[in-house]
Amino acid sequence: MTKTELINSIADKANCTKKDASAALEATLTAIQETLESGEKVSITGFGTFEVRERGEKTCINPKTKAKMVCPPCKAPAFKAGRGLKEAVNAPKKKSKKK
56 and 68: one domain? yes
Nearest-5° Cα angle at 76, 74 to 77: 160
Neighbours of 72 (CB within 10 A): 8
Whether residues 31 and 48 fall in one domain:
no
Report whether pLDDT(30) > 90.
yes
Number of compact structural domains in the chain: 2
Does the reported pTM lie above 0.95?
no
Write the DSSP string, 54-77: EE--EEEE-TTT--EEEEPPEEEE
CATH number at residue 66: 4.10.520.10
d(CA 15, CA 39) in angstroms, rounded, equals 35
pLDDT value at residue 92 = 83
Q: Judge if 36 and 48 occupy the same domain.
A: no
Digit-coded pLDDT (tens) for 37-73: 999 999 999 999 999 999 999 999 999 999 999 999 9
